[in-house]
Amino acid sequence: MMKKIKLYNKIAKVGTDVFDRERYEVGEAVESPDAIMVRSAALHELPFGPELKAISRCGAGVNNIPIPRCTEAGVVVFNTPGANANGVKELAIAALMLASRDIVEGVNWTATLAGSEDVAKAVEKGKSQFAGNEIAGKTLGVIGLGAIGGLVANAADALGMTVVGCDPFLSVNGAWALSRNVKRAASYEDIYKQADYITLHVPANDETRNMINKDTLAEMRDGVRIINLSRADIVNADDLCEAIASGKVKKYVTDFPTEKTIGKDGIITIPHLGASTAESEDNCAVMAAHELAEFLELGNIKNSVNFPNVSLPRGSGHRVCVMHRNIPAVLSKLTTALSDVGINIENLASGSKGDVAYTIIETDRPAPDIALEKFGLIFEVIRVIVI
């Protein structure tokens, strides 16, 4: 049966080309899709049809997707961690320079000299008002050392900065990827106290929302420069503007302009360009497409934000994939339902993530309808997908 992929926003062709057109229908006009590929379009008000099994976000942030509703419906939400990391890293380095040198102000001032008789003389006379500082020898605090934060930390180290990082959820692979010169801070507070520059690379959630606020700003050094390429609501805009006005914060560079931050002295707003490179868009689209194909064809999950990563290598080809509550004895109920109708289980993989779990069961022959009906009667089961 032809699988349907609906596109929201313009998805790079190199990504959509991953799908074999003999087996997939792909496009913006697709109706009743099995899966969705999206960049920044808001899906919160989008009604989900019963056919929808997965959404893949071409990027890392998923605040444009209704995650709780997807989980309750058994819709797997994927993102593409690391695919746009280099693009964001490069913008973070540019932001460091913008925060250190009055480049934007100087460029804007130079534009006012258009039509002057002696531009060179005017430039030499006025340039001193835009003098800045160098980043070499300064301390950069990196909050969040994931795919992007780790690259930023290493790049800043290579540029001669003292780099201090903190990430309570740092993975083993992430730790191995860090330069040996990157120092570990025991807490965010340690970074606030010693950093000349602070760059934020954390997701926006209940724990991080407004993490930069009046209290945390008070812990920072006078004249600190803050870079936020993560999400706007990680920083409390009102408190930040007060800190800018008082001189507590020297510069704030953000990739997420808001009504409260745009056009303010000391604040540089970039129009969400972090992943806006041809390379990032291609990388994200390709990764997102492969995630969907792997799930729709084999039931394998990798890089999901709401279900655990679970996969099985290709075997007999008969699979039943079950989203269920993370409660004891569910697996035994599933296997019993199959054995009661004479189905032999050849392979099984299961994993959990918070309150939910996911199980792939590979069988010697297709599971009959009666077995699937028994699955549906199990209270803890959220959804069953047959492959």
Kindly list the catalytic residues: 231, 259, 272
Give the residue carrying structure tokens 């996969």: 311
Q: What are phi and psi of 217, to 5 degrees?
A: -65, -35
Interatomic CA distance for residues 295 and 290, integer angstroms: 8
Q: In DSSP terms, which residues pair with 6 in a beta bridge? A: 27, 36
Residues 6+ positions from 347 with CB-CB distance below 8 Å = 312, 315, 361, 362
What 8-state DSSP symbol labels residue 128? G
- What is the H or E stretch that residue 286 is in? helix 278-298
Using DSSP's 3-state secondary structure scheme, residue 143 falls into strand
Cβ 310 vs Cβ 359: under 8 Å: yes
Q: Hey, what amino acid is at 338?
A: L
Helix axes 85-100, 147-158, angle to 10 degrees: 50
Distances (CA, A) of 117 to 128, 130, 158: 20, 22, 43
Q: What are phi and psi of 57, to 5 degrees?
A: -90, 120
Residues 6+ positions from 363 with CB-CB distance below 8 Å = 316, 318, 319, 320, 338, 343, 344, 345, 346
What 8-state DSSP symbol labels residue 267? E
Helical residues (DSSP H) of 11-81, grouped into ranges: 13-16, 67-73
Cβ 197 vs Cβ 227: under 8 Å: yes
Q: Hey, what amino acid is at 330?
A: V
